[in-house]
Structure formats: C-alpha cells, structure tokens
Structure 1
C-alpha cells in the first residue's frame, strides 16, 4: 500500500501513521531500529528503498528516506507512506524536501524516529565530508557511507580517514568480507610461516582495493604494495608473500577467483561483487564501533605514506 501526502507536515505524517495502525493494524510496532536514508530526488531513491526493504527482512525497521529536491523551489514537504508488500518487512516513509527544507533534513526526521530505538543513517552516495558532524548524521549510532559510489572514490575514502568517528563505516569495506575471510582461512593452514610482504591489485578508483591494503598493513605489520589493474572494476588480486610459497587470490572476471597456496591444489572460489542489499544487511547487524575498520583506515594511511616515500626515493636516485 502506498499513500501520498503532498504538501504536508511531519505532524500530519505521524497522524496518518497512527490512523493506519488503529484502523487496520497495517503498521507493525516490532521494529528494532530506524534506518534513515539520505539521497537525492532521482532514480537512486527507488534503488535505495529496494536495498533497505531487502535488509529489513533480517532487521525489521522504520525506513525514513530523505530525498532532497530542488533548492530553488518553494519550501515544501511531499511525503509518502509505504506499508505491506511495498515496504518489505519495514514501513517506509519517503520525505521529498524542496527549497530551504532540502538543506535542513534533521528537523523533518526527528519527529518520525522510533522512540528508544537505535538510529542508523545511510548515504548511498554524496556523503558529507564528516558524517558525524552532519545534522542528520549526529542523530545516529551508526553512519554508513559508500565511497565507491562517489564521484571521486579515492578522495572520498581519504575524507573518511580524516573524519573518522566511532560508528562510521563504508560499504567499500563491507564488500571485502569474503576476500578477508579467504585470506585469513588460508593463513590457518600449513606451512605456518610469517608473511613478509603483500601486494594487492585493483582498479585505480577502487576504494576496496585500498582498504584491503590497509587491512593487511595494519594486522600483519608488513609492507604492502598497492598496484593498479585496468582490466575491470574493483579488486583483481591479493598476494601474501612467504618463504615457502605465496598465497594468492586472482579474480579476473569480477565473479570467480582462483586461490593458490603452498601444498594445496588450486581452488575456484565465488567472489562475485556483493549486492547492495547484502552489504546493508551485514552492516545493520552491529551497532557498536567497528575497530577493525578504524585500524584499517590508519593502516591505509601507512601504505600511502610508504608509497610516497618510495616514489620520492626513486626520484632522488633517478
């Protein structure tokens, strides 16, 4: 069921929600959190709602979509309530803000938050430089960005490093879960030797590749090289170098990878790029700070610094 409320107010939206609950019981109260999605007023709205609906099947929640429209228009709030089959296991409130309201979304969100429930804010793209200082981000226990969806993914990732606050995370990090699990599992098998160095390769504008380099640098305390591979988007390969033989994962087609390790036959592993809803489901499972992601950001800083020092040394000897 979809109910449109053009040129409305948040109090009228709340009143309509209560009315729906009292007359038909259509809006359930068993919600574990409020998910606020901040996006533009374009096609990305429906894509974000689809991902949120998918995530709601594991995490029943109230989804509030703040769709910021034209700033030049007269101040106006157009709302839409989606329940039942149009909202997955959640209830979806779409707030389309125009004019001066477009830059002031927090005031429209606060009256609609579920009482005594955690708040998670997700920017599918165009995240603020400092999510925790954003008026809507300041309301949240967790703040989810996606540097891969930004116009300049690497610059966006650098901004995440500089502005990191407990509760921040990035879907470029979530997409690495399978890669990290495979590498960690391979290290549990003999020969049990220390890794001396590592190399990761991926698209030049792949923040996930940068984050994998940072993770390896932070947790193995080794030098890591980050190489560019122009054959496709995202991660291409990861190599852990050891005296008895390297552990290597190569994914040439963004779908299936080959895992090579000493004493073991080559193995085909599923490494298809994860769907947006799947990544969102994973991030909604935790509301505490992600210390591993934080350490990875600092490890990435070390990798970048090491690359700059190597470049400077090469220029000095050239």
Structure 2
C-alpha cells in the first residue's frame, strides 16, 4: 500500500503512521533500527528503496528516504508512506524536499526516528566528504557510503581516509568479503609459508581493488603492487608470492574465479560481483566500529601503483 501526502509536514506524516498502526496496516514494534537513505530526487530513489526492502527481510526497519529535489523550487515537503508488500519487512517513508528544505534533511528526519532504536545513514551516491560531520550522519550510529558509485571513485576513497570516524563503512569494502574469505582459506592450507609480496590487479577506477591491496599490505605487512587491468570490471586477480610458489586467484569475467596454489588442484570459486542489497544486508549486521576497515584505509598509503604493461616489462627484465 502506498499513501501520498503532497505538500505536507512531518507532524502530518507521523499522524498518518499512527493511524496506519491503529488500523492494523503497519506494526512498528518489530523494527530493529531506522535506516535513513540520503539521495537525489531521481531514478536512484527506487533502486535504493528496493535494496533496503530486500535487506529488511533480515533487518526489519523503518526506512526514511530523504530525496533532495531542486533548491530553486518553492519550499515544499512531499511525503509518501509505503507499507505491506510495497515495503518488504519495513515501513518506508519517502520525503521529497524542495527549495530551502532540500538542505534541512536532518530536521525532517528527527521527528520520524524510532525511539530507542539505532540509526543507520546510507548515501547510495554523492556522499559528503565527511559523513560523520553531516547533519544526518551526526544522528547516526553507523554511516554507509559507496565510493564505487561516486563520479571519482578513487578520490572518494581518499576522502574516506581523511574523514574516517568510528561507525563509518563503505560498500566498496563490503564487496571484498568473498575475496578475503577465499584468500584467507587458501593460506590456511599447507605449505604454511610466509607471504613475501603480493600483486592485485583490477580496473583503474575500482576502489575495491585498492582496498584489497591495502588489506594485504596492512595485515601481512608485505609490499603490495596495485596494477591497473584493462579487462575489469572490478578486481581481476590477486597473487600472493611464497617461496614454494604463488597463490593466485584470477576472475576475468566478474563471476567465477580460478584458484591456483602449489600442491593443490586448481579450483573454481564463486566470486560473483555482489549486489548492493547483499552488501547493505551485511553492513546492517553490525553497529560497532570496524577496526579492520579502519586499518585497511590507513594501509592505502602502503601500496605501490602501476599498470599491467609495467608489470610485464619488469618481469621481462628479471628474466633477461
């Protein structure tokens, strides 16, 4: 069920929510958090709502969408309430703010927050340089951004380094969960030798490739090269160098990778590029600071960047 409230106020929205609860159309008692989605008033609104609805099946929530419209328009708040089949396991409140109200998202959100429930803010794109200092970010226990959805993904990743505050995370980091799990499992198998160096290849604008390289550099304390690969998308390969032979994962198609390591048969591993809904669901499982993500951000300064052509030239020089 979708209820439109044009040219309204937050008090009228709250009143309508109470009416819906009393009539049995929506129940808020089972909500475990408030998810605030901050976005522009475009096509990405529906994509973000769908991802939140899917995630709500594991994390029932009140979803508040702050869709900022034209600042040149007359000040106006248009609201929409979605419950039932149109809201997954949540109740969705869409606030479309125009004119001077477009910059007052926090003031519109506060009256609609669930009492005594944690608040998570998510910017599907165009996140502020410092999410924790943003008015909505300051209200939140957890702040989720997505560097890959920015106009300059690598530049956005550097913003995350400079502005990191406990509670920050990024979907570019969450997309690495499968890669990290496969690499960790491979190192658990014999021979149990130290890794001496690593090389990670991926698209030039892939923040996840940078983060995987930084994670290896930070936690293995080894030199890591981050190479640009023309194939893409995202991460293409990761090679860990050990005395008896390399551990190598190659994923040329963005779907299935091949794992090669000494003394073990080659294996195919599922490394499908993760959907936003899956990453969001994972991030909503924890509200505490992510120390590993923080250390990985600091590890970005430890990696060496290059491209595939430079790598091939270096290898030819070594052979000669």
Give your verdict on TM over 0.5. yes
Partner of 2:270: 270
2:23 is the alignment partner of 1:23? yes
Work out whether 1:119 is the aligned partner of 2:133: no
Equivalent residue, structure 1, for 2:68: 68
- Judge conservation of contact 2:200–2:224 (CA < 8 Å) in 1: yes
Alignment of 1:58 with 2:52, yes or no, is no
1:144 aligned to 2:139? Answer: no
| CA distance in structure 1 between the partners assigned to 2:203 and 2:250 by the alignment | 13
Q: Give the match's secondary structure for 2:135.
A: coil
Structure 1's unaligned 5+ residue stretches are: 312-318
Detail structure 1 runs of 4+ shifted over 6 Å in the superposition: none
Partners of 2:210 and 2:100 lie apart in 1 by 38
- In structure 2, stretches of 5+ residues that fail to align are 311-320
Cα deviation per residue 1:244-289 (whole Å; 9 max; x = unaligned)? 0100000010011000011001001111100110000000000000
Query: How many angstroms apart in 2 are the aligned matches of 1:166 and 1:243?
Result: 38
Distance in 1 of aligned mates of 2:183 and 2:297: 19
Q: Is the CA contact (8 Å cut-off) linking 2:247 and 2:260 kept in structure 1?
A: yes
1:14 aligns with 2:14: yes
User: Which deviates further from its counterpart, 21-30 or 180-189?
Assistant: 21-30
> Which residue of the partner structure matches residue 315 of structure 1?
none
8 Å CA contact 1:27, 1:83 repeated in 2: no
Report the Cα distance in structure 2 between the residues aligned to 1:179 and 1:280, rounded to whole angstroms. Answer: 17
Contact 1:17–1:27 (8 Å) recurs in 2: no
In the TM superposition, residue 25 of structure 1 has moved relative to its aligned partner by: 4.3
Q: Which residue of 1 aligns with 2:237?
A: 237
Q: How many residues align?
A: 308
For 1:165, the equivalent position in structure 2 comes to 165
Is the 1:81–1:92 contact (alpha carbons within 8 Å) kept by the matching residues of 2? yes
Q: Deviation at 1:301?
A: 1.7
Partner of 2:313: none
Q: CA deviation at 1:26?
A: 2.4
Tell me if structure 1 keeps the 8 A contact 2:223–2:302: no
1:248 paired residue number: 248
Partner of 1:99: 99
When the two structures are superposed, what TM-score results if normalisation uses the length of structure 2? 0.95
Alpha-carbon distance between aligned partners in 1 of 2:123 and 2:161, rounded to the nearest angstrom:
17
Answer whether contact 1:59 1:284 (CA < 8 A) is retained.
yes
For 1:170 and 1:157, how far apart are their aligned partners in 2?
A: 9
- What TM-score do you get using the length of structure 1 for normalisation? 0.95
Matches within 5 A, 1:124-203: 124-203=124-203
Structure 2 residue aligned with 1:302: 302
Structure 2: distance between partners of 1:49 and 1:286:
20
**RMSD, matched Cα:** 1.3
